[in-house]
Chain A
Amino acid sequence: MAAELTVRLVDHAIELQALWQRIADPDCGAQLVFVGATRQRTATERDVLVTRQLAYQAYRPMAEKELRVLLEEAAERWPLRHLVAVHRLGEVPVGQASVAIGLSSPHRGACMEAMPWIMDELKRRVPVWKQEHYDDGSTQWIHR
């Protein structure tokens, strides 16, 4: 059965309830949602950095295309029925979601295996960048 894929880049808060609805399926006994959110404190070797918010920038048409390719590849590797990837752009305050991935499948194995693969690949090849806005007013683009 063909998988249903949804990709969105949004400039507002990610609507998680809508995401859950999109992966709901009476034939899917497994539904899994991963949410990545802006973290306040990051420990480094020397001290603790305090983040006020993140700002995300994307090469939009390519980011959408790469996210779709990523979900297509996941749907070929695992028997997933519904795959949703939403990435928020612009400013994302502490505690709010910057990315959400939703998956559903008849049995849990497919969702549980696919999720870390999708997030690892997203962080490797989708052209989206985060800029840290620290509590002291400084900013830094993250390139690693």
Chain B
Amino acid sequence: MQSERTIRLFAGAREAVGSDTARVSLPEAATAEEVLQVLARSHPQLSGLLPSCRLVAAQEYLDPAARVPADAELALIPPVSGG
């Protein structure tokens, strides 16, 4: 079963997409790595940035092989540059 999910976007990713969110259709029990692959296909304007991005669920960084929890808020985190 596919599920429709919203992923929050920031900084260069937000600028590339022209929106502060991206809608994606994810396979059941998708891993963080698979979510990035789905994003690369649905939003090709992110392709340059995606290899260096991390996925966050419920404000926690996910390992690439970790499954994405069902109800958590998702966010795409490009390399950070605070300070």
- Chain A interface residues (CB < 8 Å from chain B): 36, 56-59, 61-63, 65, 87, 98-99, 119, 122-131, 141-144
* Number of residue pairs spanning A and B whose beta carbons lie under 8 angstroms apart: 71
Task: Give the chain B neighbours of A57 by CB distance below 8 A.
Answer: 10-11, 14
Within 8 A of A (CB), among B30-67: 49, 52, 56, 59, 61
The distance from the CB of A72 to the nearest CB of chain B, in whole angstroms, is 15
> Which are the 5 A-B pairs with shortest beta-carbon distances?
A128-B82, A129-B11, A141-B12, A62-B59, A142-B81
The distance from the CB of B65 to the nearest CB of chain A, in whole angstroms, is 19
B81 pairs with A123, CB closer than 8 A: yes
The number of chain B residues touching the other chain, given as a range, is 10 to 19
**Alpha-carbon separation in the docked complex, A120 to B80 (Å):** 12
A130 pairs with B12, CB closer than 8 A: no
Task: Give the chain B neighbours of A141 by CB distance below 8 A.
Answer: 11-12, 15, 78, 81
**Alpha-carbon separation in the docked complex, A128 to B59 (Å):** 13
- Chain B interface residues (CB < 8 Å from chain A): 8, 10-12, 14-15, 49, 52, 56, 59, 61, 75, 77-83
**Alpha-carbon separation in the docked complex, A129 to B82 (Å):** 5
Task: Give the chain B neighbours of A131 by CB distance below 8 A.
Answer: 11
A-B contacts, 23 listed (Cβ < 8 Å): A57-B14, A58-B82, A59-B56, A59-B75, A59-B77, A62-B59, A87-B82, A99-B83, A123-B81, A126-B82, A127-B75, A128-B80, A128-B81, A128-B82, A128-B83, A129-B82, A130-B81, A141-B81, A142-B81, A143-B11, A143-B12, A143-B81, A144-B79
B52 pairs with A99, CB closer than 8 A: no
The distance from the CB of A143 to the nearest CB of chain B, in whole angstroms, is 4
With contacts A59-B10, A141-B11 taken as known, whether A125 is within 8 angstroms of B80 at the C-beta atoms is: yes
With contacts A59-B75, A61-B59, A65-B59 taken as known, whether A144 is within 8 angstroms of B81 at the C-beta atoms is: yes
Q: Which of B49, B61, B79, B80 has the most CB of A within 10 A?
A: B80
Name which residue of chain B comes closest to A124, CB basis: B80
Task: Give the chain A neighbours of B15 by CB distance below 8 A.
Answer: 141
Name which residue of chain B comes closest to A101, CB basis: B83
Name which residue of chain A comes closest to B82, CB basis: A128
